[in-house]
């Protein structure tokens, strides 16, 4: 069954969200296609997709750290309503996908290039084989880093891409970045790549909302309920291996020769008040990538999809307008 577009798209207000998201979830559940695909190393990754009538293209959503498909149902609904098929998958060690350690909640990856290989196989073996339409990428945080690396080799496949608060470099406040990188490198050698990074925290079901980050109480509570009710959504602490890759991925993303290979038009939505990832690294990427336009979302935090009404409206409005025009 395919999604039928509505008369006019209206972004849910804070008051409308609790009942609105239930309606969205009910509609999507009736049109949901799910499955698992085998990645390059035999690991099984979970995916979902939704088809809409008279589609103009397909949007592939690439989520961030500790995220999962269902967290993106609201924006998926908006894409569907504007005539885009939507394809999502849980990256390795996230959601319903494979785990690489004995600890279900531990986030690990040997190399970020493995995320890129997963994305490439998903696009080639699931997205394009389902329905061959112009391809668009919407990515958030870690997903932005993965998508940037993907575009360096596959730019010709993607019509347009949106990077939402991309994690080109995490913000480190405890020690200077060079010391942090060296400390994590040594920890990885001594403790093993799959050992838990001691400064990363476990999932806390009773955590209080930080209003400076998650500006929408209703969306924050909905996402927390999804995580409380599904243990596979509780992946939170990171391994030494993941942490080292995150602290060094900037070197790969900002290489001038590789950035120059990207011809796909990119809209980079940078959050003005981001306390998680570096806006300076984003600006460097935009400066080196001729195809990239960077816009700073005023008062935006790293969780822009949980932003206040103005942030949410600008974030989603600019994304839709960019894909449509």
pLDDT at 17: 96
Name the percent of the chain lying above pLDDT 70. Answer: 98
Instruction: Kindly state whether residue 6 falls inside one of the protein's structural domains.
Output: no
Task: Please name the residues in contact with 325: beta carbons below 8 A apart, sequence gap of 6 or more.
Answer: none
Token pair of 135 as six digits: 């391809």
- State how far the alpha carbon of 245 is from the alpha carbons of 141, 214, 260, in Å: 14, 26, 22
Instruction: Kindly state whether residue 212 falls inside one of the protein's structural domains.
Output: yes
Instruction: Kindly state whether residue 10 falls inside one of the protein's structural domains.
Output: no
pLDDT at 212: 87
Instruction: Kindly state whether residue 148 falls inside one of the protein's structural domains.
Output: yes
Question: Hey, what's the torsion of the CAs at 30, 234, 166, 191, to 10 degrees?
Answer: -150
Mean pLDDT of 84-99: 98
**Average pLDDT of the chain to the nearest whole number:** 96
Instruction: Kindly state whether residue 200 falls inside one of the protein's structural domains.
Output: yes
Pairwise CA distance, residues 131 & 217, whole Å: 37
Mean pLDDT of 145-163: 98
Q: With cut-offs at 50, 70 and 90, classify the pLDDT of residue 317.
A: very high
Summarize pLDDT for 182-217 with one digit per residue, the tens: 999 999 999 999 999 999 999 999 999 998 899 999
Q: Is the pTM of this model over 0.75?
A: yes
Mean pLDDT of 303-308: 94
Reduced to 3 states (helix: H, G, I; strand: E, B; else coil), residue 277 is: strand
Instruction: Kindly state whether residue 102 falls inside one of the protein's structural domains.
Output: yes
Q: With cut-offs at 50, 70 and 90, classify the pLDDT of residue 3.
A: confident
State whether the Cα torsion 220-226-228-231 is positive or negative. negative
pLDDT at 8: 63
pLDDT at 7: 53
- Residue 294 predicted with pLDDT over 90: yes
Domain of residue 38 covers 32-324
Domain total of the chain: 1
Pairwise CA distance, residues 155 & 153, whole Å: 6
Summarize pLDDT for 254-293 with one digit per residue, the tens: 999 999 999 999 999 999 999 999 999 999 999 999 999 9
Instruction: Kindly state whether residue 11 falls inside one of the protein's structural domains.
Output: no
- Residue 240 predicted with pLDDT over 60: yes
CATH number at residue 64: 3.40.50.1820
- Residue 6 predicted with pLDDT over 70: no
Instruction: Kindly state whether residue 3 falls inside one of the protein's structural domains.
Output: no
Summarize pLDDT for 20-78 with one digit per residue, the tens: 999 999 999 999 999 999 999 999 999 999 999 989 999 999 999 999 999 999 999 99
Mean pLDDT of 156-172: 98
């Amino acid at each position: 069954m395919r999604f039928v577009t509505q008369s006019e798209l209206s972004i849910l207000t804070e008051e409308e969200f609790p009942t609105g998201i239930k309606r969205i979830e009910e509609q999507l559940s009736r049109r949901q296609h799910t499955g698992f695909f085998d990645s390059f190393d035999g690991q099984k990754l979970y995916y979902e997709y939704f088809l809409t009538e008279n589609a103009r293209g397909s949007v592939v959503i690439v989520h961030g750290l500790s995220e999962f498909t269902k967290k993106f149902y609201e924006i998926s609904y908006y894409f569907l309503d504007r005539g885009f098929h939507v394809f999502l998958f849980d990256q390795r060690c996230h959601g319903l996908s494979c785990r690489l350690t004995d600890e279900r909640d531990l986030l690990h990856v040997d190399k970020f290039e493995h995320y890129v290989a997963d994305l490439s196989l998903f696009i080639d073996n699931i997205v394009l084989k389902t329905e061959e339409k112009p391809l668009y990428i919407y990515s958030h945080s870690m997903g932005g880093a993965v998508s940037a690396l993907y575009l360096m080799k596959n730019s010709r496949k993607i019509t347009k891409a949106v990077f939402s608060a991309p994690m080109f470099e995490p913000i480190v406040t405890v020690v200077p970045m060079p010391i942090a990188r060296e400390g994590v490198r040594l920890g990885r050698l001594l403790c093993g790549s799959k050992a838990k990074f001691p400064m990363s925290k476990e999932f806390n079901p009773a955590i209080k909302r930080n209003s400076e980050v998650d500006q929408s109480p209703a969306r924050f509570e909905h996402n927390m309920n999804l995580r409380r009710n599904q243990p596979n959504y509780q992946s939170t602490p990171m391994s030494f291996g993941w942490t080292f890759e995150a602290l060094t991925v900037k070197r790969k993303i900002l290489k001038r020769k590789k950035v120059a290979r990207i011809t796909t038009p990119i809209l980079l939505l940078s959050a003005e008040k981001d306390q998680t990832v570096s806006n300076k690294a984003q600006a460097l990427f935009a400066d080196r990538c001729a195809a990239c336009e960077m816009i700073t979302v005023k008062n935006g935090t790293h969780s822009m999809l949980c932003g206040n009404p103005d942030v949410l409206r600008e974030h989603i409005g600019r994304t839709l307008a960019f894909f449509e025009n």
